[in-house]
Amino acid sequence: MKIDYLILGDYETNCYVLRENDAAQDCFVIDPGLEADDLLEFLDEQKLNPLAVLLTHGHIDHIAGLAVLRSRFPEIKVYIHNLDAEMLTEPSINLSAMTGSAFVTEPEDASLKERDIIDLAGVKLLVLHTPGHTPGGISLYSKQDGVVFVGDTLFADSIGRSDFPGGSMSQLLASVREKLFTLPEETQVYPGHGPATTIAAEKAHNPFF
């Protein structure tokens, strides 16, 4: 698996571009951020063909980039957990209403649930439902490559917020303990904001555990 990442928008959202290898042109995007102009520039420079967007959850700083992606690549498919799907069309729960600039986009093309397998552009990811930050928050795990993309569930030495609508601290802590901390300790953790970490490092040092 080839992983490229960009830091997008005022909220510095980590956006990941995944493909089979360096030579591959087909790819998919995890979380296109608040503003995706730099992402479009990267895709054009690398001559990449994005087949889909996978959303770890439905907050505005992770989904607003869909607008320009869908405009530039009309055939692109959007995946989100079914419990967060309404966030694509409802500004009050995707938090964009709080910013004074309500954002809506077209509904998802496919909804996800626990243990689904994503098989795109030569990459396979297992869907882990990790609610707490949002009801439909997901993490995306590749056993073969030893990586997990966790959105805003887990950060280096921290965890996601649970005080937004639909959030739950007890769910968030359970998600990390039961779904993420049970992965192999050498697993690389790629969060929605901030630096990468490992399961071993978070089990040893994260102050929430």
Residue 172's pLDDT is 98
Mean pLDDT of 110-139: 97
- For 38-69, write each residue's pLDDT tens digit: 999 999 999 999 999 999 999 999 999 999 99
Mean pLDDT of 64-90: 96
- Residue 99 pLDDT grade (very low, low, confident, very high; cuts 50, 70, 90): confident
Percent of the chain with pLDDT over 90: 95
Q: How far apart are CA 117 and CA 76, in angstroms?
A: 18
Residue 56's pLDDT is 98
Q: How far apart are CA 201 and CA 33, in angstroms?
A: 26
Residue 54 φ/ψ, nearest 5 degrees? -105, 125
> Residue 98 pLDDT > 90, yes or no?
no
Q: What is the pTM of this model?
A: 0.97
Q: 109-128 burial by CB neighbour count: b if 16+ within 10 A, else e?
A: eebbeeebebebbebebebb
Token pair of 143 as six digits: 């056993």
Percent of the chain with pLDDT over 70: 100
Ranges of each domain in the chain:
2-205
Residue with tokens 């087909």: 26
Mean pLDDT of 177-184: 98
In CATH, 2-205 is 3.40.109.10: no
> Residue 189 pLDDT > 80, yes or no?
yes
- Residue 93 pLDDT grade (very low, low, confident, very high; cuts 50, 70, 90): very high
Q: How far apart are CA 208 and CA 70, in angstroms?
A: 38
Residue 101's pLDDT is 81
> Residue 24 pLDDT > 80, yes or no?
yes
- Residue 153 pLDDT grade (very low, low, confident, very high; cuts 50, 70, 90): very high
Residue 187's pLDDT is 98
